[in-house]
Amino acid sequence: MDSDMDTTVTSNTLKNTVCNYVLETLHLVASLGIIIAVDKILERVFVVLGIKFPSALFGMFCIFSILVFLDLTFPEAATNLMDFFEPALLFIQRWLPLFYVPALVVLPISIQDIPAASGIKICFIIVGGWLATLIVAGYTAIAVRKMVKTELIPAEPMSRPSSFSQTEVRVWTGFFIVSFVAALIHPTLLGTHAITYLPFLLAATVLGYMVGCRLPSCAMKVIHPIISCVLFAEIAALAFGFLSRAGFYNVLGDYLTKVPSNPGAGDILMGLLNSVILSFAFSMYKQKKLVRRHASEIFTAVIISALFSLYSTALVGRLVGLEQYLTVSSLPRCITVALALSIASLFEVADSSITAAVVVLTGLVGANFVKAVLDKLRFRDPIARGVATASSCHGFGTAALSANEPEALPFCAIAYALTGISASLFCSVPAFRQSLLVVVG
């Protein structure tokens, strides 16, 4: 009798677990699907209307305005809306670094025609520019904070995504092996090389990120998850190129095609970048009290650092003799990739992969050294540390700092979004773009 009861209880528990999992999955698909759909609709409308302003940025402002309006009129509706999109926001936060990876994976193709001397100059701009922008943002925040003397209050708690399980690693490993072998046997199994290679290249990228995130913290100081992510993808491309005799560069070319009708793994990942921008609206709304209370410090530091970053890059590029097109491609180096690519399009940059690579490399430099530099400069205020980090090395620096300093995370998140937003707004003005081009020479 007791055995039958135990069996029934176990069966009911299993059913409830399965039902909950299915419901959570459907909730995630619905919330993320709506964000992606809104992004694609806005993008199409802006193309049809010939509007050059970033469509995702407009969408972000709309979402934020709707949330604020609901908060003032129907607070419960605003709360319900935030709760509904929470799974999508956690998904984006969990996988965010992956959306930046394609630019680094195809970097060997992008830099083929760049002279070594120019590459060294770009590296100088990346490292020196990151440090200079961090200093400007940090000291600006400190100076304004001393003037306004606003008391620091605790921020709203921020949800953190779950870590990767061993089961997830095994599933993606199996998926990689099966799709890799299938592509070797029949390179056009799914119609084209790019689409056939997509599954195993995507799996390799995801596995690299998972493995990188599971490394000991001491190892992460040397090997950022993004680095392991890129290495896994390129090793997979190299192995497939050798075994299939397709060639390494040909496989990399199919990783990021930039052709909607023939997408590669990189196109799928970068296709979610605009969704990241839309998600900023929810992050800013959640910290609206903090933004309002410390608006003077945050906005002043963000605006000054964004202007400094753009004009200093233009000026230094000219002084060191960097080619004009490379200097222009490097202008949004401190802006998150999604918005940096929008800014690059405003300047009609021919190869946006260079812009993306410069942005990601800036983030990697910041992620590895930001905490040590902040300590060396004696920036102890969480506002200064958060704003300086996000304004100089966007998402990567934010992730690196907030892992050990959760009190700085809200300021990182706010500055991370606002730096890109303010720079995008500036660059949307033709006169401003022209002034930068004059400095570039």
Residue-wise pLDDT tens digits, 64-76: 899 999 999 999 9
- CB of 247 within 8 A of CB of 241? yes
Is pLDDT at 4 greater than 70 in this prediction?
no
Same domain, yes or no, for 188 and 128? no
In a domain, 6, yes or no: no
Same domain, yes or no, for 401 and 285? yes
In a domain, 380, yes or no: yes
Q: Which of 270, 293, 326 is the last residue of a domain?
A: 270
Select the more confidently predicted residue: 394 or 407.
394
Q: Residue 220: which domain range?
A: 166-270
Is pLDDT at 348 greater than 80 in this prediction?
yes
Same domain, yes or no, for 210 and 256? yes
Same domain, yes or no, for 355 and 426? yes
In a domain, 133, yes or no: yes
- pLDDT of 8: 59
CA dist 266 and 206 (Å) reads 11
Is pLDDT at 159 greater than 70 in this prediction?
no
Q: What is the DSSP string of 295-338?
A: HHHHHHHHHHHHHHHHHHHHHHHHHTT--HHHHHHHTTTTS-HH
- pLDDT of 154: 61
Same domain, yes or no, for 342 and 386? yes
User: Which of 407-441 are b and which e, b meaning 16 or more Cβ less than 10 Å from the residue's Cβ?
Assistant: ebbbbbbbbbbbbbbbbbebbbeeeebeebeebbe
Q: Which of 270, 291, 306 is the last residue of a domain?
A: 270
Q: What pLDDT, in 10s, does the model give residues 176-217? A: 999 999 999 999 999 899 999 999 999 999 999 998 888 777
Please state the rounded mean pLDDT for residues 150-154: 68
Q: Which of 95-104, 120-129, 277-286, 404-413 has the lowest mean pLDDT?
A: 404-413
Task: Report which secondary-structure segment, H or E, holds 94.
Answer: helix 75-95
Is pLDDT at 29 greater than 80 in this prediction?
yes
- pLDDT of 177: 95
Question: Can you say whether the dihedral through the CA atoms of 4, 9, 15, 18 is positive or negative?
Answer: negative
Same domain, yes or no, for 263 and 293? no
- pLDDT of 110: 75
In a domain, 392, yes or no: yes
Same domain, yes or no, for 289 and 173? no
Is pLDDT at 9 greater than 60 in this prediction?
no
Q: What pLDDT, in 10s, does the model give residues 48-62? A: 888 877 788 788 889
In a domain, 48, yes or no: no
Our count of domains for the chain comes to 2
Task: Report which secondary-structure segment, H or E, holds 368.
Answer: helix 352-376
Task: Calculate what percentage of the chain has a pLDDT beyond 90.
Answer: 37
Kindly report the average pLDDT of the chain as a whole number: 85
In a domain, 21, yes or no: no
Same domain, yes or no, for 371 and 292? yes
Same domain, yes or no, for 259 and 240? yes
Closest to 34 (Cα-Cα) out of 89, 72, 79: 89
Q: Which of 40-44, 113-117, 241-245, 306-310 has the lowest mean pLDDT?
A: 113-117
Is pLDDT at 80 greater than 80 in this prediction?
yes
Q: Is the pTM of this model over 0.85?
A: no
Select the more confidently predicted residue: 230 or 405.
230
Please state the rounded mean pLDDT for residues 169-177: 94
- pLDDT of 3: 54
Name, of 111-115, 225-229, 326-330, the range with top average pLDDT. Answer: 326-330
Q: Which of 223, 244, 270 is the last residue of a domain?
A: 270
In a domain, 352, yes or no: yes
Same domain, yes or no, for 397 and 261? no
The CA-CA-CA angle for residues 32, 35, 41, to 5°, reads: 135
Same domain, yes or no, for 144 and 211? no
Same domain, yes or no, for 277 and 217? no
- pLDDT of 407: 67
